Amino acid sequence: MNSQHFIDLDETYSAHNYHPLDVVVERAEGVWVYDVDGNKYLDCLSAYSAVNQGHCHPAIREAAIAQMNRVTLTSRAFRNDQMGPFLQELCDMTGYEMALPMNSGAEAVETAVKAVRKWGYEVKGIPDNQAEIIVCRGNFHGRTTTIVGFSSEPAYKRHFGPYAPGFIMVPYGDAAALEAAITPNTAAFLVEPIQGEGGVVTPPDGYLRETANICARHNVLFIADEIQTGLGRTGKLFACEHEGVRPDVMVVGKALSGGFYPVSAVLTDKEVLGLLRPGDHGSTFGGNPLGAAIGRAAIKVIQDEDLIGRSRDLGAYFKGRLERIESEHIKEVRGKGLFIGVELHVPARRFAEALRERGILVKETHKTVLRFAPPLIITKEQIDWAAEHIEAVLM
Protein backbone atom coordinates (compact mmCIF):
# COMPACT_ATOMS: atom_id res chain seq x y z
CA MET A 1 0.00 0.00 0.00
CA ASN A 2 1.39 3.42 -0.78
CA SER A 3 1.00 6.60 1.19
CA GLN A 4 -1.85 8.00 -0.85
CA HIS A 5 -4.18 5.24 0.30
CA PHE A 6 -3.65 6.13 3.97
CA ILE A 7 -3.76 9.84 3.31
CA ASP A 8 -7.13 9.38 1.60
CA LEU A 9 -8.47 7.44 4.58
CA ASP A 10 -7.31 10.15 7.00
CA GLU A 11 -8.85 12.86 4.87
CA THR A 12 -12.14 10.97 4.63
CA TYR A 13 -12.58 9.69 8.15
CA SER A 14 -10.52 11.89 10.45
CA ALA A 15 -11.57 15.31 11.60
CA HIS A 16 -9.28 17.79 9.90
CA ASN A 17 -7.88 19.28 13.09
CA TYR A 18 -4.25 18.92 11.93
CA HIS A 19 -2.25 19.85 8.84
CA PRO A 20 0.39 17.10 8.85
CA LEU A 21 3.24 16.59 6.43
CA ASP A 22 2.20 13.72 4.15
CA VAL A 23 4.58 11.14 5.57
CA VAL A 24 2.82 7.90 6.50
CA VAL A 25 4.95 6.27 9.17
CA GLU A 26 4.78 2.53 9.60
CA ARG A 27 7.65 1.93 12.02
CA ALA A 28 10.40 3.74 13.85
CA GLU A 29 13.55 2.93 15.78
CA GLY A 30 15.79 5.33 17.68
CA VAL A 31 16.07 8.58 15.74
CA TRP A 32 14.74 7.02 12.51
CA VAL A 33 11.21 6.67 11.20
CA TYR A 34 10.21 4.68 8.12
CA ASP A 35 7.23 5.34 5.89
CA VAL A 36 4.98 2.91 4.03
CA ASP A 37 6.79 3.68 0.76
CA GLY A 38 10.11 2.50 2.15
CA ASN A 39 11.65 5.93 2.86
CA LYS A 40 13.73 6.61 5.95
CA TYR A 41 13.76 9.89 7.85
CA LEU A 42 15.66 11.43 10.74
CA ASP A 43 13.03 12.56 13.25
CA CYS A 44 13.73 16.13 14.34
CA LEU A 45 10.43 16.64 16.14
CA SER A 46 10.35 13.63 18.50
CA ALA A 47 6.55 13.79 18.69
CA TYR A 48 6.80 17.22 20.33
CA SER A 49 9.50 15.88 22.68
CA ALA A 50 7.55 12.80 23.80
CA VAL A 51 10.20 10.46 22.37
CA ASN A 52 13.28 12.04 23.95
CA GLN A 53 14.51 8.48 24.60
CA GLY A 54 14.24 7.60 20.88
CA HIS A 55 11.48 5.65 19.18
CA CYS A 56 10.56 2.23 20.56
CA HIS A 57 13.40 2.25 23.07
CA PRO A 58 14.11 -1.45 23.79
CA ALA A 59 14.24 -1.07 27.59
CA ILE A 60 10.90 0.72 27.69
CA ARG A 61 9.41 -1.75 25.22
CA GLU A 62 10.51 -4.70 27.36
CA ALA A 63 9.01 -3.10 30.47
CA ALA A 64 5.76 -2.43 28.61
CA ILE A 65 5.47 -5.96 27.26
CA ALA A 66 6.29 -7.51 30.62
CA GLN A 67 3.69 -5.38 32.34
CA MET A 68 1.08 -6.11 29.66
CA ASN A 69 1.50 -9.77 30.48
CA ARG A 70 0.80 -9.11 34.15
CA VAL A 71 -1.89 -6.46 34.61
CA THR A 72 -2.65 -3.23 32.73
CA LEU A 73 -5.44 -1.52 34.60
CA THR A 74 -6.76 -1.76 38.11
CA SER A 75 -8.35 1.69 38.41
CA ARG A 76 -7.58 3.61 41.57
CA ALA A 77 -10.41 1.76 43.29
CA PHE A 78 -7.63 -0.71 44.12
CA ARG A 79 -3.88 -0.35 44.47
CA ASN A 80 -1.23 -1.78 42.19
CA ASP A 81 2.43 -2.64 42.59
CA GLN A 82 3.73 -0.22 39.94
CA MET A 83 2.31 3.21 40.78
CA GLY A 84 4.00 3.63 44.18
CA PRO A 85 7.47 2.67 42.94
CA PHE A 86 6.98 4.88 39.86
CA LEU A 87 6.06 7.93 41.91
CA GLN A 88 8.85 7.26 44.41
CA GLU A 89 11.39 7.08 41.60
CA LEU A 90 9.92 10.18 39.95
CA CYS A 91 10.02 12.13 43.23
CA ASP A 92 13.59 10.94 43.91
CA MET A 93 14.69 12.13 40.49
CA THR A 94 12.93 15.50 40.64
CA GLY A 95 13.17 16.34 44.33
CA TYR A 96 9.46 16.75 45.05
CA GLU A 97 7.58 15.13 47.92
CA MET A 98 4.42 14.01 46.13
CA ALA A 99 3.06 13.34 42.67
CA LEU A 100 -0.35 12.93 41.12
CA PRO A 101 -0.32 10.76 37.99
CA MET A 102 -2.59 11.52 35.05
CA ASN A 103 -2.53 10.67 31.35
CA SER A 104 -2.37 13.56 28.88
CA GLY A 105 -0.49 16.78 29.46
CA ALA A 106 -3.67 18.84 29.37
CA GLU A 107 -5.12 16.71 32.17
CA ALA A 108 -2.05 17.33 34.27
CA VAL A 109 -2.36 21.09 33.70
CA GLU A 110 -6.03 20.90 34.71
CA THR A 111 -4.96 18.94 37.79
CA ALA A 112 -2.43 21.64 38.66
CA VAL A 113 -5.12 24.31 38.25
CA LYS A 114 -7.39 22.44 40.66
CA ALA A 115 -4.61 21.83 43.18
CA VAL A 116 -3.43 25.45 43.31
CA ARG A 117 -6.99 26.75 43.60
CA LYS A 118 -7.57 24.43 46.55
CA TRP A 119 -4.34 25.70 48.10
CA GLY A 120 -5.53 29.25 47.44
CA TYR A 121 -8.74 28.71 49.37
CA GLU A 122 -7.53 26.42 52.14
CA VAL A 123 -4.04 27.74 52.83
CA LYS A 124 -3.84 31.28 51.47
CA GLY A 125 -7.42 32.13 52.49
CA ILE A 126 -8.73 33.46 49.18
CA PRO A 127 -12.53 33.97 49.34
CA ASP A 128 -14.45 31.11 47.73
CA ASN A 129 -14.58 31.16 43.92
CA GLN A 130 -12.34 34.24 43.70
CA ALA A 131 -9.00 32.54 42.97
CA GLU A 132 -7.03 33.95 40.06
CA ILE A 133 -4.27 32.30 38.06
CA ILE A 134 -1.93 34.46 36.01
CA VAL A 135 -0.92 33.07 32.61
CA CYS A 136 1.31 34.32 29.79
CA ARG A 137 0.53 35.60 26.33
CA GLY A 138 1.59 33.07 23.71
CA ASN A 139 1.11 30.16 26.12
CA PHE A 140 0.31 26.60 25.17
CA HIS A 141 -0.96 24.36 27.93
CA GLY A 142 -3.27 21.96 26.09
CA ARG A 143 -6.66 21.77 24.46
CA THR A 144 -9.36 21.37 27.10
CA THR A 145 -12.10 23.99 27.24
CA THR A 146 -10.68 25.64 30.36
CA ILE A 147 -7.15 25.74 28.96
CA VAL A 148 -8.02 27.12 25.51
CA GLY A 149 -10.08 29.76 27.28
CA PHE A 150 -6.87 31.34 28.58
CA SER A 151 -4.95 31.04 25.30
CA SER A 152 -4.06 34.17 23.33
CA GLU A 153 -4.13 32.25 20.05
CA PRO A 154 -7.41 32.80 18.17
CA ALA A 155 -7.14 29.46 16.33
CA TYR A 156 -7.02 27.57 19.64
CA LYS A 157 -10.06 29.23 21.18
CA ARG A 158 -12.38 30.74 18.58
CA HIS A 159 -15.92 29.36 18.81
CA PHE A 160 -15.05 27.17 21.78
CA GLY A 161 -16.35 29.60 24.40
CA PRO A 162 -17.79 30.54 26.79
CA TYR A 163 -14.44 30.50 28.56
CA ALA A 164 -13.79 29.71 32.21
CA PRO A 165 -13.12 32.81 34.34
CA GLY A 166 -10.28 33.21 36.81
CA PHE A 167 -7.33 33.59 34.44
CA ILE A 168 -5.41 36.83 33.97
CA MET A 169 -3.02 37.24 31.04
CA VAL A 170 0.29 39.09 31.14
CA PRO A 171 3.00 39.47 28.48
CA TYR A 172 5.59 36.66 28.45
CA GLY A 173 9.06 37.74 29.50
CA ASP A 174 7.91 40.78 31.49
CA ALA A 175 8.39 40.20 35.22
CA ALA A 176 7.10 43.67 36.15
CA ALA A 177 3.82 42.91 34.37
CA LEU A 178 3.44 39.79 36.50
CA GLU A 179 4.02 41.73 39.71
CA ALA A 180 1.51 44.40 38.66
CA ALA A 181 -1.16 41.77 37.93
CA ILE A 182 -0.94 40.07 41.33
CA THR A 183 -3.86 40.71 43.69
CA PRO A 184 -4.71 39.24 47.11
CA ASN A 185 -6.74 36.64 45.17
CA THR A 186 -3.85 35.41 43.04
CA ALA A 187 -3.26 31.73 43.74
CA ALA A 188 -0.64 30.95 41.11
CA PHE A 189 1.43 31.96 38.11
CA LEU A 190 1.49 29.38 35.29
CA VAL A 191 4.43 29.57 32.88
CA GLU A 192 6.43 27.61 30.33
CA PRO A 193 10.17 28.21 30.85
CA ILE A 194 10.48 28.20 27.06
CA GLN A 195 7.29 28.53 25.02
CA GLY A 196 7.45 25.49 22.75
CA GLU A 197 4.31 25.75 20.66
CA GLY A 198 4.61 29.51 20.83
CA GLY A 199 7.70 29.13 18.60
CA VAL A 200 10.54 28.06 20.96
CA VAL A 201 10.34 31.49 22.56
CA THR A 202 13.01 31.94 25.22
CA PRO A 203 12.32 34.68 27.77
CA PRO A 204 15.00 37.24 28.71
CA ASP A 205 17.73 35.93 31.03
CA GLY A 206 16.68 36.22 34.64
CA TYR A 207 12.95 36.16 33.90
CA LEU A 208 12.26 32.83 35.57
CA ARG A 209 14.33 33.72 38.63
CA GLU A 210 12.69 37.12 38.94
CA THR A 211 9.16 35.81 38.51
CA ALA A 212 9.82 33.00 40.99
CA ASN A 213 11.03 35.59 43.51
CA ILE A 214 7.98 37.77 42.89
CA CYS A 215 5.71 34.77 43.45
CA ALA A 216 7.50 33.89 46.68
CA ARG A 217 7.21 37.50 47.94
CA HIS A 218 3.46 37.61 47.27
CA ASN A 219 2.61 34.10 48.46
CA VAL A 220 1.71 33.00 44.94
CA LEU A 221 2.53 29.49 43.71
CA PHE A 222 4.89 29.24 40.75
CA ILE A 223 3.69 26.53 38.33
CA ALA A 224 6.08 25.43 35.60
CA ASP A 225 4.56 23.61 32.66
CA GLU A 226 7.57 21.52 31.64
CA ILE A 227 5.58 19.01 29.63
CA GLN A 228 7.70 19.80 26.58
CA THR A 229 10.85 21.38 28.08
CA GLY A 230 11.31 18.94 30.95
CA LEU A 231 13.03 15.58 31.37
CA GLY A 232 16.25 16.60 29.69
CA ARG A 233 15.07 18.33 26.55
CA THR A 234 16.88 21.62 27.23
CA GLY A 235 20.08 20.15 28.67
CA LYS A 236 18.91 20.19 32.29
CA LEU A 237 16.39 17.88 33.95
CA PHE A 238 14.05 20.89 33.97
CA ALA A 239 14.47 24.08 31.99
CA CYS A 240 13.82 26.11 35.16
CA GLU A 241 17.16 24.84 36.49
CA HIS A 242 18.96 27.05 33.98
CA GLU A 243 18.04 29.89 36.34
CA GLY A 244 18.22 27.95 39.58
CA VAL A 245 14.44 27.99 40.00
CA ARG A 246 12.59 25.22 41.79
CA PRO A 247 8.91 25.68 40.95
CA ASP A 248 6.29 25.07 43.65
CA VAL A 249 4.31 23.02 41.15
CA MET A 250 5.87 21.09 38.27
CA VAL A 251 3.83 19.64 35.41
CA VAL A 252 5.35 16.83 33.31
CA GLY A 253 4.10 14.60 30.52
CA LYS A 254 5.23 13.68 27.01
CA ALA A 255 8.69 12.05 27.54
CA LEU A 256 7.55 10.71 30.91
CA SER A 257 6.53 7.62 28.91
CA GLY A 258 9.10 7.85 26.11
CA GLY A 259 6.20 8.00 23.70
CA PHE A 260 4.75 4.59 24.53
CA TYR A 261 1.64 5.67 26.28
CA PRO A 262 0.11 8.86 27.69
CA VAL A 263 1.61 9.40 31.14
CA SER A 264 1.66 12.80 32.86
CA ALA A 265 2.02 14.00 36.42
CA VAL A 266 1.87 16.98 38.72
CA LEU A 267 4.69 17.24 41.24
CA THR A 268 4.66 19.37 44.40
CA ASP A 269 5.61 19.20 48.03
CA LYS A 270 3.03 18.04 50.60
CA GLU A 271 1.78 21.57 51.14
CA VAL A 272 -0.13 21.50 47.83
CA LEU A 273 -0.97 17.96 46.72
CA GLY A 274 -1.33 16.96 50.36
CA LEU A 275 -4.56 18.99 50.41
CA LEU A 276 -6.40 16.61 48.09
CA ARG A 277 -8.86 14.27 49.79
CA PRO A 278 -10.62 11.13 48.50
CA GLY A 279 -13.19 12.17 45.91
CA ASP A 280 -11.52 15.47 45.03
CA HIS A 281 -9.97 14.30 41.78
CA GLY A 282 -9.43 11.18 39.73
CA SER A 283 -8.90 9.43 36.44
CA THR A 284 -9.75 5.88 35.39
CA PHE A 285 -6.38 5.39 33.72
CA GLY A 286 -4.28 7.77 35.85
CA GLY A 287 -1.61 5.83 37.76
CA ASN A 288 -2.41 2.58 35.96
CA PRO A 289 0.18 -0.18 36.25
CA LEU A 290 1.03 -0.26 32.54
CA GLY A 291 1.61 3.49 32.38
CA ALA A 292 3.53 3.36 35.65
CA ALA A 293 5.79 0.51 34.48
CA ILE A 294 6.45 2.40 31.26
CA GLY A 295 7.13 5.60 33.19
CA ARG A 296 9.62 3.81 35.45
CA ALA A 297 11.53 2.51 32.44
CA ALA A 298 11.33 5.85 30.64
CA ILE A 299 12.89 7.85 33.48
CA LYS A 300 15.50 5.15 34.03
CA VAL A 301 16.61 5.52 30.41
CA ILE A 302 16.95 9.29 30.87
CA GLN A 303 19.28 8.66 33.81
CA ASP A 304 21.16 5.57 32.57
CA GLU A 305 21.96 7.07 29.17
CA ASP A 306 22.76 10.55 30.47
CA LEU A 307 20.24 12.07 28.07
CA ILE A 308 20.46 15.36 29.96
CA GLY A 309 24.20 15.64 29.36
CA ARG A 310 23.78 14.59 25.73
CA SER A 311 21.14 17.24 25.21
CA ARG A 312 23.36 19.89 26.76
CA ASP A 313 26.47 19.04 24.75
CA LEU A 314 24.97 18.01 21.45
CA GLY A 315 22.42 20.82 21.66
CA ALA A 316 25.21 23.38 21.98
CA TYR A 317 26.96 21.75 19.03
CA PHE A 318 23.81 21.64 16.85
CA LYS A 319 22.88 25.21 17.71
CA GLY A 320 26.41 26.34 16.86
CA ARG A 321 26.16 24.68 13.47
CA LEU A 322 22.78 26.28 12.78
CA GLU A 323 24.07 29.69 13.86
CA ARG A 324 26.87 29.46 11.34
CA ILE A 325 24.47 29.03 8.41
CA GLU A 326 24.56 32.24 6.42
CA SER A 327 21.11 32.41 4.94
CA GLU A 328 19.11 35.52 4.18
CA HIS A 329 16.00 33.61 5.35
CA ILE A 330 17.18 33.18 8.95
CA LYS A 331 16.13 35.82 11.45
CA GLU A 332 17.24 34.12 14.67
CA VAL A 333 18.46 30.80 16.07
CA ARG A 334 17.46 30.27 19.70
CA GLY A 335 16.82 27.64 22.33
CA LYS A 336 18.60 25.53 24.92
CA GLY A 337 19.98 22.00 24.65
CA LEU A 338 18.40 20.03 21.84
CA PHE A 339 15.42 22.36 21.81
CA ILE A 340 16.20 24.76 19.01
CA GLY A 341 14.03 27.17 17.09
CA VAL A 342 15.13 28.72 13.82
CA GLU A 343 12.97 31.74 13.14
CA LEU A 344 12.74 32.73 9.50
CA HIS A 345 11.69 35.95 7.78
CA VAL A 346 9.36 33.87 5.61
CA PRO A 347 6.84 31.03 6.17
CA ALA A 348 8.67 27.88 7.29
CA ARG A 349 6.40 25.25 5.78
CA ARG A 350 8.19 25.01 2.44
CA PHE A 351 11.50 24.39 4.21
CA ALA A 352 9.90 21.63 6.26
CA GLU A 353 8.66 20.12 2.97
CA ALA A 354 12.12 20.46 1.41
CA LEU A 355 13.78 18.81 4.42
CA ARG A 356 11.31 15.97 4.25
CA GLU A 357 12.41 15.40 0.63
CA ARG A 358 15.94 15.04 1.98
CA GLY A 359 14.95 12.62 4.74
CA ILE A 360 14.56 14.94 7.73
CA LEU A 361 11.28 15.42 9.54
CA VAL A 362 10.58 18.79 11.10
CA LYS A 363 7.41 20.77 11.50
CA GLU A 364 6.94 24.47 11.30
CA THR A 365 5.56 26.09 14.39
CA HIS A 366 3.92 29.46 14.45
CA LYS A 367 4.27 29.79 10.69
CA THR A 368 7.83 31.13 10.59
CA VAL A 369 9.73 28.92 13.04
CA LEU A 370 11.40 25.57 12.36
CA ARG A 371 11.77 23.62 15.59
CA PHE A 372 14.66 21.14 15.80
CA ALA A 373 14.10 18.74 18.68
CA PRO A 374 15.51 15.32 17.75
CA PRO A 375 15.52 12.40 20.18
CA LEU A 376 18.22 13.03 22.78
CA ILE A 377 20.04 9.85 21.72
CA ILE A 378 21.02 11.50 18.44
CA THR A 379 24.75 11.33 17.63
CA LYS A 380 27.13 14.06 16.52
CA GLU A 381 27.48 12.38 13.11
CA GLN A 382 23.71 12.43 12.63
CA ILE A 383 23.65 16.11 13.59
CA ASP A 384 26.41 16.83 11.06
CA TRP A 385 24.43 15.05 8.38
CA ALA A 386 21.24 16.92 9.26
CA ALA A 387 22.99 20.29 9.47
CA GLU A 388 24.33 19.94 5.94
CA HIS A 389 20.85 19.35 4.58
CA ILE A 390 19.37 22.15 6.67
CA GLU A 391 22.02 24.49 5.33
CA ALA A 392 21.34 23.37 1.77
CA VAL A 393 17.58 23.98 1.90
CA LEU A 394 17.98 27.37 3.57
CA MET A 395 20.35 28.61 0.85
321 vs 336, beta carbon nearer ligand PLP: 336
Residue 106 interacting with ligand PLP (CB under 6 A):
yes
- Please state whether beta strands 32-35 and 40-43 pair in parallel, antiparallel, or not at all (unpaired): antiparallel
144 vs 219, beta carbon nearer ligand PLP: 144
Can you list the positions of beta strands (E) in the chain?
25-29, 32-35, 40-43, 98-102, 132-136, 167-170, 186-191, 221-225, 249-252, 264-268, 330-336, 339-344, 360-361, 363-365, 369-372
> Smallest distance from the beta carbon of 4 to ligand PLP, in angstroms?
28
Segment near ligand PLP (CB under 6 A); pick from 213-221, 222-230, 234-242, 361-369? 222-230
Q: How far apart are CA 276 and CA 282, in angstroms?
A: 10
Other beta carbons within 10 angstroms of residue 243's beta carbon come to 17
**Binding mask of the shown chain, residues 43 to 62, with x at each position contacting ligand PLP by CB under 6 A:** -----x--------------
Task: Exactly one of 140, 238, 260, 339 is catalytic; name it.
Answer: 140
Residue 117 interacting with ligand PLP (CB under 6 A):
no
104 vs 288, beta carbon nearer ligand PLP: 104
Of 54, 101, 142, 341, the residue at the interface with ligand PLP (CB under 6 A) is 142
Of 30, 120, 193, 253, the residue at the interface with ligand PLP (CB under 6 A) is 253
> Smallest distance from the beta carbon of 99 to ligand PLP, in angstroms?
17
Segment near ligand PLP (CB under 6 A); pick from 139-147, 205-213, 291-299, 322-330? 139-147
Is 34 in contact with 377 (CB distance < 8 Å)? no
With 0-12 / 13-18 / 19 or more C-beta atoms within 10 angstroms meaning exposed / middle / buried, residue 256 is buried
Question: Sign (positive/negative) of CA torsion 335, 338, 339, 340?
Answer: positive
Q: Is 167 among the catalytic positions?
A: no
Helices 289-304 and 307-323: angle between axes, nearest 10 degrees: 60
Q: Catalytic residue positions?
A: 140, 225, 254
Residues at the site binding ligand PLP, with contacts judged by CB under 6 A? 48, 104-106, 109, 140-142, 192, 196-197, 225, 227-228, 253
